[in-house]
A = this chain, B = another copy of it.
């Protein structure tokens, strides 16, 4: 990587980091491109060399941040000897909830922007994320003893349930703090998986 490429990567990173900071502090809507470039210390036109518009940088940020969270959770999972699929998934959820509890602005950013569509396109099937998420996802189901009627729908329901309940509990402790939610949520996930086992 030459000097120029190195410089370019720095500029892009500065923009990404600044945008994330501003998006989480004051919201995407209230963040203008002017805000981003002035805080990042580059000229306005430079922004457009790297991103098409505000929503382009947002999408790239989501893929980057969400895949980081998943990678950390998966790394932690590898350190354990957990065997059953249920408990693997519970472990991942637990780990992710803890990560996001520690970093509420990240939670806010991901939750508000990570829809199933984005999850599928930007994380599961895209090479933009710095993690081969699809392999993790498939191998985890293939190696499992138990088989499921419709794994995709199962994952979909789990993600949507976890995502939407944690958002409110972590950020507002409403209707209960996340630690009170956890046992109910884990039970719910186990039941949900049980209900979709193929007989």
Residues of A at under 8 Å CB distance from B?
29, 115-117, 120, 149-150, 152-154, 156-157, 160-161, 163-165, 168, 172, 174-176, 180-181, 184-185, 187-188, 190-192, 194-196
Contact = CB atoms under 8 A, between A and B. Distances in A.
Contacts of A163: 164
A188 to B, nearest CB: 5
Number of copies of chain A assembled together: 4
A102 B156 CA distance: 23
Give chain A's interface secondary structure class. Answer: helix
Contacts of A165: 156-157, 160-161
A193 to B, nearest CB: 9
B181 A187 contact: no
Given A174-B120, A184-B150, A188-B192, A115 B157 contact: no
A194 B196 contact: no
Contacts of A172: 117
Contacts of A152: 175-176
Contacts of A188: 157, 191-192, 195-196
A125 B98 CA distance: 31
Contacts of A185: 157
A160 B153 contact: no
Nearest to A176: B153
Contact of A175 (B156, B176, B184): B156
A142 to B, nearest CB: 18
A168 B156 contact: yes
A55 to B, nearest CB: 11
Given A192-B191, A195-B188, A196-B187, A115 B156 contact: no
Contact of A161 (B117, B150, B160): B160
A176 B174 CA distance: 30
A50 to B, nearest CB: 16
